[in-house]
Structure 1
Amino acid sequence: MTAQPPGTETEHLTADAAGLDRAAALLAAGGLVAIPTETVYGLAVDARDDEAVARLYHAKGRPTFNPLIVHVADTEQASALVAMPPEAVRLAQDFWPGALTLVLPIRPDSGISPLVTAGLATLGVRVPAHPVARDLLRRTGPLAAPSANPSGQVSPTRASHVLEGLSGRIAAVVDGGASTVGVESTIVGVLPDPVLLRAGGIPSEALEACLGMGLFVGGEAGQPISPGQLASHYAPKGAVRLNAAAAEPGETMLGFGDVPGDLTLSASGDLVEAAANLFARLHELNRMGAERIAVAPVPETGLGRAINDRLRRAAAPR
C-alpha cells in the first residue's frame, strides 16, 4: 500500500472557498489532506472510508492500535456519532468549539471506520475552533485527523512543517497560517466518570471548574484508548534532557523565562506563548542539527502540564 502514487506532488492550497472546495473533493476521493486547526495541523481523511484511514496510518507510520480523533463541525454532528452523557454535554457547551476532545461510547450506526477506533467501543471527537477547519467540515462531514507529521516526530504548527515531513506522501495541505494554541487538544474520557486522558490546550483546572469535581488521571497502561499516550512521542531528532539550569558542552539550550537559551519558549515565562511556540522551536532545533538538547524547567501548572507532557514524551527512550 502507498499513501500516494509515487512521484505525486502535494498540493499547497489556499484557505479560501476554491481551496476548501478542492480539499473537499480530494477527501471525497479518498485522499489525505493536511488541514489547519488552532492546536496543530491535522492529517485528515474521511472517517467513514476504511481504505483512506488505512492510507493515513501508512503515511504517518502510525501503529494501528493507536486510535484517531474525529473532527466534526458542531455538537449535532458529534451527537450522531457518540452517546453524550450529561458531563460530556456540559463540557461541550463550555469548551466547544475549542481544544477539547471527548472520548465517548460510539453509536452502533455511526458509520465510522473501525480502524479509526482501533477496535474500541469508544470514539474521540472534537469541534475545532479554527474557522477554516470548521468551514471544511461543513463541506465534508466527520474527518479523522491526527497530527500531520510522521508518527512520533514533532507535531506541525505551520503548513511548512507539514511539507517537511509528508511532502509527496499526501494529496494536499490547506495553508491556514500558524496554529495559535500550539499543543494538541486536552482529552477527557466520560466512561461514565470523567477521566483526564491527555493534558492539552485547555488546562485541567478549567475543566474541573466546569464539572465541579476533580479529574482522575488515567489511561496510560495497556492499549491506548486515546491519542498521545505512547511513551515516546513528539520527538525531535536530537536527544532531550529536561529541567536543565544551563547547557552542558555540546548541548543546544531551549530556554524558558529567566533561563536563557539558544532558542526560548518564552523569555517572559508566559505559558500561553510557550505552548504556541513549543513545536515550532523543536522544528527549529531539527533544522539547526541539534544532536543534544537541554530544556529549561517549565512550571507544572495550567498549560505547563501539557508542555511538560510533550517534553517528557520527547525525551523518552526511542
Structure 2
Amino acid sequence: MIWLPTAQKLNEAADILKRGGIGAIPTETVYGLAADALNPIAVARIFEAKNRPVFNPLIVHMPDAGLLPLISTIDLSRIDSLIHRFWPGPLTLVVPKRSVVPGITTGDRESVAVRVPAHPIARHLIAAAGGFLAAPSANPSNYLSPTRADHVEHQLSDRIDFILDGGPCRVGVESTIVSLLGPVPVLLRHGGLSTDALRQFLPDLEERHAPSAHHQPLAPGQLAVHYSPSTPLAFWEGQPVTGSETGFISWSHLPEDPAVRVFRLSEHQDLTEAAARLFSILHDLDRAGLKRIVVERVPETGLGRAIMDRLKRAVAGHVHV
C-alpha cells in the first residue's frame, strides 16, 4: 500500500487521481488525502473515507500560484506580495471561487480555500494529476493528523488507493488559514506559518474564533473538537503524574515516577521542533495501550499558538482522564 515516490509510482498515482481515485500524499505540513478537486464524485470519496461532515470545506492544492485565476476571481494584485513571500508554504487563503469549483469541495460556499504546498513530491503530483487536488489531512475525521506514511497506513489503508511516502513532514501541523473575502484579512486557523510573520504583510489581520455548533465553518480545522487521539487526553495542571499506564508529553517538566512513558516535544524548548514532533508523539502514545495521556502546555507565542490550538481541540474530545 505504501509506495516510494519513484517516477513510475508518481505516474501511477497521477493516473489514479485523474480517473477519480483517492490517495495519500506528503506535504510539508501533514499527509493529505488527495482527489481531483474539480471532480465532485472523487471529492465525495474523500468525505466517505474520512467520515467527514460534508459542510466542512476542503483546501485545494495547486503546483504554483499561476493557476489561481482558473479557480478564483480574486484580484491578484491584492495578494501578490503575500503569495510571493509565503508560497510555496504552509499558508492557505480563502478567496472567492469560480463556478468550476464544485460545491462539495467548498462546503457549498462561494469561496474556496487554496494553497501551494512546499513539498516537491506534492507539487509534481498535483501538476501531473491536472493542477488542482483537494487534500484534507489523511486521517479519520477528528482524529490525529498523520505526519508519516505509516500513520496513514494504520488509519486509512483499506479505504484509499495508494499512499506515497515522502518521509516525515517537516512542519508537522496544518497550514495557517487566512480569509481574504472581506475588506480586512481574517485569521481563521493558526498553523505552520506564525501570525507574527503574517502581520509583516497583513498588519490589519484580525482573528476570528471558532464557529459555534450552529454555524458552518469557513475553513477546515475550525471545529471545537478535532485532532483527538483515542486514548483519553488532558492537560497537566501541576498534579503528580504516575504509573506505567500513563503517557506524558513534556515541554519542560519531567515526572518523578520513572514508570511514566515520557516523550519530550523538544529537548531545547524549540517550538519549531515541537510542532514537527507533536502529532508523531501523539500517534506513538495512542498506539502504546495506555490508559491516559497527559500533556504539558507550551508557550503561546509563534508556532506555540498552532501547537496549543491543536492540543486544546484534542483535549476537548475528552472530558476527563
| TM-score bracket relative to the smaller structure | over 0.9
Structure 1 contact 39–183 (Cα < 8 Å) conserved = yes
Q: Distance in 1 between matches of 2:151 and 2:161?
A: 15
What SS does the corresponding residue of 1:161 show, helix, strand or coil?
helix
What SS does the corresponding residue of 1:288 show, helix, strand or coil?
coil
Q: Residue in 2 aligned with 1:239?
A: 232
TM-score (norm 1): 0.92
Moved more, 288-297 or 67-76: 288-297
Structure 1 contact 235–313 (Cα < 8 Å) conserved = yes
Q: Residue in 1 aligned with 2:274?
A: 274
Q: CA deviation at 1:259?
A: 4.2
1:76 is aligned to 2:66: yes
Q: Distance in 2 between matches of 1:42 and 1:214?
A: 27
Counterpart mapping for 1:224-303 below 5 A = 224-245=217-238, 247-250=240-243, 251-259=246-254, 262-303=262-303
Change (3 A) 1:22 1:292: same
1:128 is aligned to 2:121: no
Q: Distance in 1 between matches of 2:106 and 2:83?
A: 21
1:162 is aligned to 2:157: no
Q: Distance in 1 between matches of 2:239 and 2:78?
A: 44
Moved more, 74-83 or 176-185: 74-83
Q: CA deviation at 1:247?
A: 4.7
Moved more, 219-228 or 123-132: 219-228
Q: Residue in 1 aligned with 2:197?
A: 206
Q: CA deviation at 1:293?
A: 1.3
Q: CA deviation at 1:218?
A: 4.1
Letter in 2 for 1:96: W
Structure 2 contact 22–46 (Cα < 8 Å) conserved = yes
Letter in 1 for 2:87: W
Change (3 A) 1:246 1:131: farther
Q: Residue in 2 aligned with 1:26?
A: 16
Q: Distance in 2 between matches of 1:47 and 1:247?
A: 49
Match of 1:63 among 49, 53, 66: 53
TM-score (norm 2): 0.91
Match of 1:186 among 138, 157, 176: 176
Structure 1 contact 244–297 (Cα < 8 Å) conserved = no
4+ residue runs over 6 A deviation: none
1:113 is aligned to 2:96: no
Letter in 2 for 1:256: W
Match of 1:220 among 211, 219, 222: 211
Structure 1 contact 246–253 (Cα < 8 Å) conserved = no
Listed one character per residue, the Cα deviations across residues 215-262 of structure 1 (whole Å, up to 9, x for unaligned) are 333452311110001111110112221244355345321101344671
Moved more, 263-272 or 305-314: 263-272
Moved more, 132-141 or 300-309: 132-141
Listed one character per residue, the Cα deviations across residues 180-224 of structure 1 (whole Å, up to 9, x for unaligned) are 000000000011220000000000010011123343334523111
What SS does the corresponding residue of 2:201 show, helix, strand or coil?
helix
Structure 1 contact 246–294 (Cα < 8 Å) conserved = no
Identical-residue share of aligned pairs (%): 48
What SS does the corresponding residue of 1:262 show, helix, strand or coil?
strand
Q: CA deviation at 1:94?
A: 1.2
Q: Residue in 2 aligned with 1:3?
A: none
Change (3 A) 1:214 1:124: closer
Letter in 2 for 1:255: S
Letter in 1 for 2:303: L
Listed one character per residue, the Cα deviations across residues 269-317 of structure 1 (whole Å, up to 9, x for unaligned) are 1100000000000100111122211111200000000000000010013
Listed one character per residue, the Cα deviations across residues 155-174 of structure 1 (whole Å, up to 9, x for unaligned) are 00011000000011100011
Change (3 A) 1:29 1:238: same
Letter in 1 for 2:268: S
Q: Distance in 2 between matches of 1:230 and 1:212?
A: 26
Q: Residue in 1 aligned with 2:95?
A: 104
Structure 2 contact 228–317 (Cα < 8 Å) conserved = no
Structure 1 contact 88–190 (Cα < 8 Å) conserved = no
Q: Distance in 1 between matches of 2:211 and 2:188?
A: 8
